[in-house]
Amino acid sequence: MLKFHLITDTHYYAYEKLGFSDHMDQVTVNESGAIIDAVIDKLLAETDTDLVLLAGDLCTGGDRANHEGLLPKLRRLKDGGKRVFALTASHDYFRMDHREDGDEGPRSDMVYREELSALYWDFGRVDAAARYEPDPLSYVAQLASGYRLLCLNTDGSGSHEALYDWAEAEVRRALAEGQFIFAMHHYPVLAPSPVYPLLAPDALDNGAGIRERLADAGLRFVFTGHTHMQNISCMTTPAGNRLYDINTGAAVGYNAPIRTVTIHGGEMTVTTGSIDSFAWDLQGKCVSQYLSDSFDRMLNSIFEAANADIARMLDILNGEFRVDKAALLKYKPLLSLAGKFLYRLTFGGAGTLLGCRRKIPKTVRNVRVKDFIMEVVRNIYGGDEAYSADTPQGAATFAVMGRLEKLARSFLKNADLPFDSLQRFVMSLLYDGGLPDNNAVLPLENDAAAPLKSGQNKGG
């Protein structure tokens, strides 16, 4: 039997040295240190396993102060008897393409990628069973008798073919030696949500070599992060080999998820927990509500600005999504009208406007569309999206989107969109009928013939 805990995307930010950040994101930046401390306290209190895995984006940017603040926290975890195996990722080092001053000289206040292996040597690499010599940020660890972990770092530039050659050889070697091997990789291998390829089309490329090549070599499970979403997906390769991607949300984001994984009796049991408190002014709220409100802040600010200040809305969209503010300002009167309308629009109002009010269940006619959109987004990140077409919210959305699709048929037909039906695409965001995202029991054997929950092949 093997048991371990896994967290990812701790995004530690040393606000004491760098100052408070006002950046809006899905993660709680300034609170990160307090949350990490609470997570470590919880892990140290769990005495039934000494294994902790960290799947990358340990810090928020490459500022040296962030690493100097995080490393003592990880040492506290290790000094408490835990064996810590960490990956680094693109948020953990200074990238020249992020410079704004034009100066290409070295900066002592920043950590560069080539420094990361030495900085985090004690957290996995020191006890590695094998290392990828060209770039020791990738390594293999012997977690226990019969169990190996393949840690893959693909945030460097250029081709990863040589890394995948090495990884494939390590997978085949482990299996030949009677070892069960699974992987940890920061970037998702499979899309955690249908909307994800639209938000981050390049991130999935980092896992391209894993999806078929390593799966056909015998890899069955990969634990990932980066997306800040809770999700478990599965695919079957053309050769008939099944691969699971257990994607975990940010430890300092919505719900602060902590995965606990137990491998025993031919099954992998995945459960998700969280912290009960952390040393911060929670404004009288429980942890879950505080993190939920923090998560909502950016999206709510967009709706609030759309209602009252279109220029500010465009500033937010430009900062977060790089929209062309100058081009859209030409439509300011129209955008202002649409923003005020959407801010107040209810499902009942949408049904009346589109001629489908009778199909809107009475229980949700007074629900504001913008509030429901925010809940849907939150559910995508929290996992286990539950609004099927049989629920009042799902039925209302199904009716509205079906009517919208009919009215916009000519536009959608000629537009270059990544889906063939707007209605089906939107409904896929409301309801996830595949594998449970937070708590699941997965077979260890490569049983590609076994049906998935609801018959869906999520991600594949």
Which tokens hold the place of 113?
A: 């990628």
Question: Which DSSP string corresponds to 161-226?
Answer: HHHHHHHHHHHHHHHHTT-EEEEEESS-SS-SSTTHHHH-TTGGGGGHHIIIIIHHHT--EEEE-S
Predicted local distance difference test score (pLDDT) of residue 122: 96
pLDDT in tens, 66-122: 999 999 999 999 999 999 999 999 999 997 555 555 566 678 899 999 999 999 999
Q: How many CB atoms lie within 10 A of CB 419?
A: 13
pLDDT tier at 368 (50, 70, 90 boundaries)?
very high
Predicted local distance difference test score (pLDDT) of residue 416: 65
Summarize the confidence of residues 191-217 as an average pLDDT.
Answer: 87
Predicted local distance difference test score (pLDDT) of residue 451: 46
DSSP code at position 59: B
Q: Does the pLDDT value for residue 449 go beyond 60? A: no
Predicted local distance difference test score (pLDDT) of residue 90: 92
Q: Does the pLDDT value for residue 278 go beyond 90? A: yes
pLDDT in tens, 25-69: 788 999 999 999 999 999 999 999 999 999 999 999 899 999 999
Distance spanning both ends of the chain, measured CA to CA: 29
Residue whose structure tokens are 């009010």: 357
Structural domains of the chain in order of their starting residue, each with its CATH number: 2-273 (3.60.21.10), 287-430 (no CATH)
Predicted local distance difference test score (pLDDT) of residue 281: 96
Q: Which segment of 63-72, 319-328, 363-372, 388-397 scores lowest on mean pLDDT?
A: 319-328
- Reported as type and span, the H/E element at residue 264 is strand 258-264
- CB-based contact 35:14 (threshold 8 Å): no
Predicted local distance difference test score (pLDDT) of residue 172: 97
Q: How many CB atoms lie within 10 A of CB 332?
A: 12
Predicted local distance difference test score (pLDDT) of residue 202: 77
pTM of the model: 0.91
Q: Does the pLDDT value for residue 320 go beyond 70? A: no
Q: Does the pLDDT value for residue 413 go beyond 90? A: no
Q: Does the pLDDT value for residue 323 go beyond 80? A: no
Predicted local distance difference test score (pLDDT) of residue 104: 65
Q: Does the pLDDT value for residue 455 go beyond 60? A: no
Q: Are strands 180-185 and 221-224 parallel, antiparallel or unpaired?
A: parallel
Which tokens hold the place of 5?
A: 């805990």
Predicted local distance difference test score (pLDDT) of residue 456: 35
Q: If you average pLDDT over every residue of the chain, what do you get?
A: 90
Question: Which DSSP string corresponds to 196-207?
Answer: HHHH-TTGGGGG
Summarize the confidence of residues 356-379 as an average pLDDT.
Answer: 95
3-state secondary structure of 46: coil
Predicted local distance difference test score (pLDDT) of residue 454: 33
pLDDT in tens, 150-194: 999 999 777 899 999 999 999 999 999 999 999 999 999 999 998
Q: What are phi and psi of 412, to 5 degrees?
A: -65, -35
Percent of the chain at pLDDT above 70?
92
pLDDT in tens, 242-275: 999 999 999 999 999 999 999 999 999 999 999 9
Residue whose structure tokens are 């091997």: 181
Percent of the chain at pLDDT above 90?
72
pLDDT tier at 405 (50, 70, 90 boundaries)?
confident
Which tokens hold the place of 40?
A: 């470590």
Q: Which amino acid is at 17?
A: K
Predicted local distance difference test score (pLDDT) of residue 22: 83
In angstroms, the Cα distances linking 415 to 25, 161, 363, 404, 411 are 30, 35, 35, 15, 6
Lay out the sheet containing 267-273: strands in order across. 83-87, 51-55, 2-7, 258-264, 267-273, 440-443
Predicted local distance difference test score (pLDDT) of residue 452: 44
Q: Does the pLDDT value for residue 458 go beyond 50? A: no
pLDDT in tens, 233-244: 999 999 999 999
Predicted local distance difference test score (pLDDT) of residue 96: 59
In angstroms, the Cα distances linking 205 to 9, 173, 312, 438 are 19, 25, 34, 25
Summarize the confidence of residues 360-389 as an average pLDDT.
Answer: 94
Q: What are phi and psi of 27, to 5 degrees?
A: -110, 155
> How many Å apart are CA 126 and CA 445, to the nearest integer?
31
- CB-based contact 122:188 (threshold 8 Å): no
